[in-house]
Amino acid sequence: MSDLTILALSGSLRKASLNTRLLTAAQNVAPPELSFDRFQDLAAIPPFNEDEEHPAPAAVTDLRQRIHAADGVLIATPEYNGSLPGVLKNALDWLSRPSDFGDVLNRKPVAIIGASTSPIGTIRAQLNLRVVLHKMNAAVLGQPEFLLSLAHQHLTDSDALPEQATAILSNVLNGLSDLIRHQHAVAALIAEAN
Ligand SMILES: Cc1cc2nc3c(=O)[nH]c(=O)nc-3n(C[C@H](O)[C@H](O)[C@H](O)COP(=O)(O)O)c2cc1C
C-alpha cells in the first residue's frame, strides 16, 4: 500500500540513459509504501535567467508543484567531467528561487544515486550534488551511498543489478522512507506545540 510519494528525477536527457534506467531499478526494489512520480521533462527547463524568472516556464512550475506535493525526492545523477550535469544544476538553480510553492527543497528528504560507465562511479558528481542540495537546505540522506560503476555492463535490457547492488539500492529506498517519516513526525510535533 503506497502512502508516500517520491518525485524521481534523472539528471540525464539521453533516451537510453543508464541513470533513468537506474530509477526503474530503484522503483522495482522500493518498499510498498513508496509510489514513484517520474519527472521526464528536464529537457524543457530553459537555462536559468534572472531576467526571465516571472512568469516561470511551465516545466519549472510543473517540477516545483510536483516536488511540493511529493514527500521526498530521489535523484539519479550522471557524472560529467567530475561533477553533476549542467542540466541538473540548472534545474536546481530554478528550484532554489522563491515561488508560489515556497522553497520546494527546503527540508525536503532527498536521496541521491548515480550510474556511470567508468570504474569509479559517480562519486564526484554525488559529492558536488550534495553541496548544492545542502546550500538549498534539503534533508539529504547520508547513508547508505549508492553508486553503480561500469553501469553499462549491469543495466542491460534485463536491468538486473548485481545482488549486492540491489541490496544497497533497496536500503537507500528504505532509508529515504524512514527519513520522510522522521520529518513528518517532527513537523507534526512542531504543529502540535504551536
Ligand atoms: C561530457 C561527458 C563527460 C563525462 N564525464 C564523466 C566523468 O567525469 N566521470 C564518469 O564516471 N563518467 C563520465 N562520463 C561518462 C558517463 O558516465 C556516461 O556517459 C553515462 O552513461 C552518462 O549517464 P547516462 O547514461 O545516464 O546518460 C562522461 C560523459 C560525457 C558525455
Ligand 1, residues 14, 40, 75, 117: which to mutate, most atoms within 8 A of Cβ?
117
Which residue ranges have their beta carbon within 6 Å of ligand 1? 12, 14, 17-19, 78-82, 116-118
Q: Tens of pLDDT along 10-49? A: 999 999 999 999 999 999 999 999 999 999 999 999 999 9
Per the rule left: phi > 0, alpha: psi between -120 and 50, beta: everything else, 151 is: alpha
Separation of alpha carbons 130 and 119, rounded Å: 21
> Mean pLDDT over residues 156-182, rounded?
91
124, 79 Cβ separation under 8 angstroms: yes
Shortest-distance atom of ligand 1 to CA 20: 26
* pLDDT for 159: 64
Distance 185 CA to ligand 1 centre (A): 39
Q: What is the mean pLDDT of the chain?
A: 95
Adjacent-strand bridge partners of 74: 8, 111
Q: Tens of pLDDT along 72-101? A: 999 999 999 999 999 999 999 999 998 988
Ligand 1, residues 18, 80, 120: which to mutate, most atoms within 8 A of Cβ?
80
CATH superfamily of 4-193: Flavodoxin domain (3.40.50.360)
pLDDT tier at 9 (50, 70, 90 boundaries)?
very high
Please say if the pLDDT value at position 148 is more than 70. yes
Q: Tens of pLDDT along 97-143? A: 989 888 999 999 999 999 999 999 999 999 999 999 999 999 999 99
User: Hey, what's the cell of 182?
Assistant: 522522521
Q: Which residue's CA lies nearest to atom 11 of ligand 1?
A: 118
* pLDDT for 158: 64
Distance 159 CA to ligand 1 centre (A): 19
* pLDDT for 160: 74
How many CA atoms, within 13 angstroms, populate the side-chain half-sphere of residue 183? 20
Please say if the pLDDT value at position 1 is more than 90. no
C-alpha 174: how far from its chain's center? 15
- Please report the DSSP string for 161-190 in residue order: PPHHHHHHHHHHHHHHHHHHHHHHHHHHHH
